[in-house]
Amino acid sequence: MNRKHDGLWRYIVIGAIFVVVCIVYIGMFVDLQVTGQDYYSMSNPVTYTKRSVKIQAQRGEIYDRNGNKLVGNEFFNDIRLDYASMPKTNPEKNSVILSLLGYLEKTGETEKLAAYRYTPFDITVRGGNLDFSYNDDFFETTRSVKYEKIAAELGIKEDAGAEEAAAVFMYRYGLSDKEGVLTVAAEDAAKLFCYRMDFDMCDFSALSPYNFAADVSLEYIAKIREASLRGFTVYCRYSRTYNYPGYATHLLGRIQKIPASDVEYYTAMGYPIDAYVGTSGAEYAFEQYLHGVDGEMIITEDSYGNIVGTEIKREPTAGLDVYLTIDIGMQMAAEDSLAYNIEYVKLEASYEPGERDGEDCEAGALTAVDPKTGEVLVLASYPTYDLSTYLEDLKYLGADETAPLVNRALNGTFQPGSTFKPGVAVAALDAGIITPYTIIDTKGKYEYYSGYQPRCWIYLMYNDTHGKIDVTEALQESCNYFFYDVGRQLTIEKLTEYMSSFGLGQPTGIELPEKTGVLAGPEYRSDNGLEPWTPGDTLQAAIGQSDNLFSPLQISMYTTTLVNNGVRYSARMLHKVCPYGSDEPVVVGESSIISTMDVSAEACEVVKNAMRDVIENGSASEMFEDYPITIGGKTGTAQVSKVKSDNAIFTAFAPFDDPELVVTSVIEQGNTGANAGVSVKGLFDYYFGVGDYAEPDDGGDEDAE
């Protein structure tokens, strides 16, 4: 055959094959551009799945009575790893994680990474290899049980060394081959190992997304979306913000994920299992108003994990805004005065010789209410803390011996000391045991009972007596002898009947959790399996000692009842409830009267006048000398133990003729009742605009000249 013709045919055949191949590839390219399908979609038809995700509702905000925002919401964009759309193979999964990390580095936001929390290993990168050792702290956490379970499933022996155990996990995560040779760079392997281990320890699943980064920028979100990365979602999260950090902490309270003990209760009410709820203070008390209803979005994905559609199935409903009866200006003044009061007591103690005169003073509480409505205007507890840094500070707060986490205004209970005596005086006058003019010859030592003969404070301190005095002088001088005798004649049964009607040992009605305290008497002793009541116990109960224990708010409400001639209001902190972002109320807090005592108005007036004398001529006269507002009040000093200074208690109302404010201060280890008047006076100064809070003098006509 002619070689020339053979070569020609060879070129023709090769050219034909080339043309056919080109036509096939051009056809595939056109089909791909037009239909959007590739080889995989042609061999594996595209399928679509739908899944539901939660749209978090905004929680209602909290305001004071004047519309000052106390607790608000701040919104953040978080990156969560989504189990459902995360690639399933190790190389793809690891690539997504490294890409997300890389873009954070490019935008300068690596500090926003949610640090991995749980890993049983410490890792060191050395010369392109990884060295592992066990993290002893991890094995002291509850997560160690989870690790041991996974390790057992992977066949890791209990006595395996760190290197041996880690090698199994490295292979599990696709970071090394069976021989232990790294399949990715050592630095990347160390990061990936920690995150992948954290996934296991945190139960990363379709029901439990993994928080990868918090409060990322829009620039970062744009970059990772442009990169078409799979396996993440952008989660719009809100966080509580506090406009007066460090103030009103105890009354506002905290929110957290539903505690395990309450899951059944809240889920039965329709809450998702990962919802945040109020666990203390107003956040807890008004949860029914503050919580919103989460929305729902349906996401449609193709078989490759690409989101091809979203649909809002249910819009989220924001919670309602709650307005409290609290006045934040008064609250701040009260807390500042309370802190100053404690420092004042310690300073005074430093000038006194000996011990137990106030040098151990560290804590206290102050409450203020409107006696005409029962509205709580101030609820202060010291020491306090900052809600905005609560999680960071929790370790130290829990270990602090002064117990800053305790709300002493509601959950601290204290012997009332002589602040109990005005109620005893009203009871004795109303029951006809004494009249305003009855004179008792006080002898210092009360000798009615041969087996128990308590002594008045003046006898103990000065070996003296108050002599012949009436009820007004007894209150002014806080004479124990007088009230020993009155209490004995009144009997413990009548005494507890009257004092219970005043609200002592009873719930105040406030919406927040509180302790109801103890009203001393035979019934309390019997119910609690204590020693039987004796006549001597009645004498001590009559001066505010014995088993009597009340919260500062209870003492304020008791004083309020006395000021109102026996009308007992419920304490209240709810002012109104409004739709989110509106001030038009849908619920309005209403004052309510719990009970009305059938008590003589004249008896109450006698006692109130005596309380004015306490301020002007008695134990508190030095504190309120030349005060421009007429005040009624009573000091109290209560023994705590032989190794601590006495507690100081002060309760007062003002203005005297038409009371607008009842204030009670309890200073732990405050030494004397009058010392607690420092914080009471500080709040009165603020409320009435006197003292340090007085308006500056503009100079009047002299400046005009």
Q: What is the pLDDT of residues 65-107, one digit of tens each?
A: 999 999 999 888 899 898 888 888 999 999 999 999 999 999 9
The pLDDT value recorded for residue 12 is 57
Mean pLDDT (the chain, rounded): 89
Sign of CA dihedral 83, 87, 93, 95: negative
- pLDDT at residue 40 greater than cutoff 50: no
Backbone angle region of 628, left / alpha / beta, with phi > 0 → left and psi within -120 to 50 → alpha:
alpha
Q: With bands split at pLDDT 50, 70 and 90, how would you rate the model's confidence at 252? A: very high
Residue 31 belongs to what domain range?
3-45
CB-CB contact of 594 with 570 (8 Å): yes
Select the more confidently predicted residue: 582 or 311.
582
Q: Which residues contact 4 (CB under 8 A, 6 or more apart)?
A: none
Calculate Rg over the CA atoms of the chain: 37
Rounded (10°) CA dihedral 326, 332, 336, 341 = -20
Domain presence at residue 265 = no
SS3 for 7-30 is HHHHHHHHHHHHHHHHHHHHHHHH
Helices (H), 269-327: 281-285, 287-290
Enter the tokens of residue 618. Answer: 């008695």
The pLDDT value recorded for residue 204 is 87
The pLDDT value recorded for residue 34 is 43
CB-CB contact of 100 with 212 (8 Å): yes
Alpha carbon 55 to chain centroid distance?
A: 25
SS3 for 140-176 is HCCHHHHHHHHHHHCCCCCCCCHHHHHHHHHHHCCCE
Q: For residues 65 and 234, give the distance between their C-alpha atoms in angstroms, rounded to a whole number.
A: 37
Residue 41's Cβ-count burial label (10 Å; 0-12, 13-18, 19+) is middle
Integer CA distances (angstroms), 17 to 23, 230, 244, in order:
10, 40, 81
- What are the φ/ψ torsions at residue 326 (nearest 5 degrees)? -65, 140
Domain presence at residue 15 = yes
Fill in the amino acid letter for 631.
I
The pLDDT value recorded for residue 10 is 58
Q: With bands split at pLDDT 50, 70 and 90, how would you rate the model's confidence at 391? A: confident
Q: With bands split at pLDDT 50, 70 and 90, how would you rate the model's confidence at 33? A: very low
Residue with structure tokens 């936001």?
A: 109
**What H or E segment, with its residue span, contains residue 439?**
none
pTM above threshold 0.75: yes
- pLDDT at residue 284 greater than cutoff 80: yes
The pLDDT value recorded for residue 316 is 82
Examine residue 383 and say whether the peptide bond preceding it is cis (omega within 30 degrees of 0): yes
Domain presence at residue 485 = no
CB-CB contact of 155 with 173 (8 Å): no
Q: With bands split at pLDDT 50, 70 and 90, how would you rate the model's confidence at 6? A: low
- pLDDT at residue 3 greater than cutoff 80: no
The pLDDT value recorded for residue 277 is 93
**What H or E segment, with its residue span, contains residue 454?**
none
Q: For residues 608 and 564, give the distance between their C-alpha atoms in angstroms, rounded to a whole number.
A: 10
Average pLDDT over residues 606-623: 95
- State how beta strands 210-213 and 69-81 pair: antiparallel
Query: Could you count the other beta carbons within 10 Å of the beta carbon of residue 462?
Result: 9
Instruction: Report which of 649, 447, 645, 414 is spatially closest to residue 539, judged by C-alpha positions.
Output: 447
Q: For residues 387 and 279, give the distance between their C-alpha atoms in angstroms, rounded to a whole number.
A: 13
Instruction: Report which of 129, 203, 141 is spatially closest to residue 170, judged by C-alpha positions.
Output: 129
Helices (H), 543-669: 552-563, 601-617
Q: For residues 635 and 622, give the distance between their C-alpha atoms in angstroms, rounded to a whole number.
A: 12
Overall domain count for the chain: 1
Instruction: Report which of 429, 427, 482, 488 is spatially closest to residue 459, judged by C-alpha positions.
Output: 482
Q: Which residues contact 338 (CB under 8 A, 6 or more apart)?
A: 364, 365, 366, 380, 382, 665, 679
Q: For residues 621 and 614, give the distance between their C-alpha atoms in angstroms, rounded to a whole number.
A: 7
CB-CB contact of 482 with 569 (8 Å): no
Which of 233-242, 500-509, 564-573 shows the lowest per-residue confidence on average (mean pLDDT)? 233-242
Q: For residues 368 and 665, give the distance between their C-alpha atoms in angstroms, rounded to a whole number.
A: 9
Residue with structure tokens 């009624």?
A: 632
Angle at 509 between CA 503 and CA 510, to 5 degrees: 125
Domain presence at residue 246 = no
Average pLDDT over residues 170-178: 93
Domain presence at residue 22 = yes
Average pLDDT over residues 418-436: 98
Angle between helices 90-106 and 218-226 in degrees, nearest 10: 140
Give the whole-number percent of the chain exceeding pLDDT 70. Answer: 90
Q: With bands split at pLDDT 50, 70 and 90, how would you rate the model's confidence at 309? A: confident
Which of 44-58, 130-144, 204-218, 248-262 shows the lowest per-residue confidence on average (mean pLDDT)? 44-58
Q: What is the pLDDT of residues 645-699, one digit of tens each?
A: 999 999 999 999 999 999 999 999 999 999 999 999 999 999 999 988 887 655 5
Q: Which residues contact 216 (CB under 8 A, 6 or more apart)?
A: 77, 78, 79, 104, 107, 109, 112
Q: Reduced to 3 states, what is the DSSP secondary structure of residue 467?
A: strand
Domain presence at residue 31 = yes
CB-CB contact of 292 with 96 (8 Å): no
Domain presence at residue 479 = no
Q: With bands split at pLDDT 50, 70 and 90, how would you rate the model's confidence at 37? A: very low
Backbone angle region of 33, left / alpha / beta, with phi > 0 → left and psi within -120 to 50 → alpha:
alpha
Enter the tokens of residue 23. Answer: 């036509």
Domain presence at residue 637 = no
- State how beta strands 661-668 and 363-369 pair: antiparallel
- pLDDT at residue 24 greater than cutoff 70: no
The pLDDT value recorded for residue 293 is 82
Q: What is the pLDDT of residues 110-169, one digit of tens each?
A: 898 877 677 889 999 988 899 999 988 888 888 888 899 999 999 999 899 999 999 999
Sign of CA dihedral 299, 300, 303, 308: negative
Which of 33-47, 442-456, 496-510, 593-607 shows the lowest per-residue confidence on average (mean pLDDT)? 33-47
Query: Could you count the other beta carbons within 10 Å of the beta carbon of residue 498?
Result: 21
Average pLDDT over residues 360-365: 97
Instruction: Report which of 315, 305, 106 is spatially closest to residue 216, judged by C-alpha positions.
Output: 106
Q: For residues 26 and 542, give the distance between their C-alpha atoms in angstroms, rounded to a whole number.
A: 104
The pLDDT value recorded for residue 32 is 44
Angle at 37 between CA 36 and CA 40, to 5 degrees: 150
Which of 7-21, 207-221, 253-267 shows the lowest per-residue confidence on average (mean pLDDT)? 7-21
- pLDDT at residue 13 greater than cutoff 60: no
Give the whole-number percent of the chain exceeding pLDDT 90. Answer: 69
Instruction: Report which of 457, 675, 442, 663 is spatially closest to residue 545, judged by C-alpha positions.
Output: 457
